[in-house]
Structure 1
Amino acid sequence: MSKNQSGQFIGGLLLGTAVGVVTGILIAPRSGQQTRKILKKSVAALPDLAEDISTSVQFQADRLGASTKDTWEDTLSRVREAIAAGVEASL
């Protein structure tokens, strides 16, 4: 699995978990009062979940940025070598 795919997988996993929790709470056979208590707790946990997702996304973006930079530098080096070889061949 490539780095980009693993980042997408982690993001999808976190999003799927959040959606599953909310769906499970809403369709659970509980009284309204119990469901409201659970929803209040879930809403209170949302900032932490958002922070976790944000941290994960930032980490993946940093990894992608570093990978892109390395690839760009490698490509630029090969282009420079090809230009130098072309100039040398034309002389």
Structure 2
Amino acid sequence: MSKNNNSGLFIAGMVIGGLLGTITGILIAPRSGKETRRILKKSADALPEMAEDLSTTVQLQADRLSESALNNWNDTLNRLQDAIAAGLEASQSDSEREIRADAKSSENHL
């Protein structure tokens, strides 16, 4: 679970870092205004696709996390059911032993 979450965060960080690095590089680079505007336009045109990729990645990670949480919950429920069944069985065994002991005690008194 943690590994999947960390890889999703890593990918999101890579995308955001790449975006920030690109914008910083464009604004700092010594280019003419016309060339910088052209590069900014190309970057702006690429933003929807990058946002979609990031959204898809985040959704996949959320789905994996949900699936993992559901599996953990089901495992916990199964262990709880097993523990309850074992407790009931032990309780019934104790009750049966007490009934037998009482019956034996009653026979001895007769």
Is the shorter-chain TM-score for this pair beyond 0.5, marking a shared fold? Answer: yes
Runs of 4+ in 1 over 3 A off after TM superposition: none
Gaps of 5+ in 1: none
Query: 1:18 aligns to what?
Result: 19
Aligned mates of 2:57, 2:67 — CA distance in 1: 15
Query: 1:67 aligns to what?
Result: 68
Aligned mates of 1:11, 1:87 — CA distance in 2: 49
Aligned mates of 2:38, 2:23 — CA distance in 1: 13
Using the TM superposition, give the Cα deviation of residue 58 of structure 1 relative to its aligned residue in structure 2, in angstroms.
1.1
Which one-letter code corresponds to 2:39 in the other structure?
Answer: I
What do residues 28-53 of structure 1 show as CA deviations (whole Å, max 9, x unaligned)? 11111111111111111111111111
Using the TM superposition, give the Cα deviation of residue 56 of structure 1 relative to its aligned residue in structure 2, in angstroms.
0.9
Using the TM superposition, give the Cα deviation of residue 59 of structure 1 relative to its aligned residue in structure 2, in angstroms.
1.2
Q: TM-score, normalised by structure 2?
A: 0.75
Using the TM superposition, give the Cα deviation of residue 74 of structure 1 relative to its aligned residue in structure 2, in angstroms.
0.7
Using the TM superposition, give the Cα deviation of residue 12 of structure 1 relative to its aligned residue in structure 2, in angstroms.
1.1
Indicate the SS of the match to 1:13: helix
Which one-letter code corresponds to 1:29 in the other structure?
Answer: P
Which one-letter code corresponds to 2:49 in the other structure?
Answer: D
Aligned mates of 2:84, 2:24 — CA distance in 1: 58
Which one-letter code corresponds to 1:23 in the other structure?
Answer: T
Aligned mates of 2:91, 2:3 — CA distance in 1: 40
Using the TM superposition, give the Cα deviation of residue 2 of structure 1 relative to its aligned residue in structure 2, in angstroms.
1.3
Structure with greater Cα Rg = 2
Gaps of 5+ in 2: 93-110
Which one-letter code corresponds to 1:71 in the other structure?
Answer: N
Aligned: 1:77 with 2:62: no
Using the TM superposition, give the Cα deviation of residue 23 of structure 1 relative to its aligned residue in structure 2, in angstroms.
1.1
What do residues 44-78 of structure 1 show as CA deviations (whole Å, max 9, x unaligned)? 11111111111111111111111111111111111
Matched residues, percent identical? 59
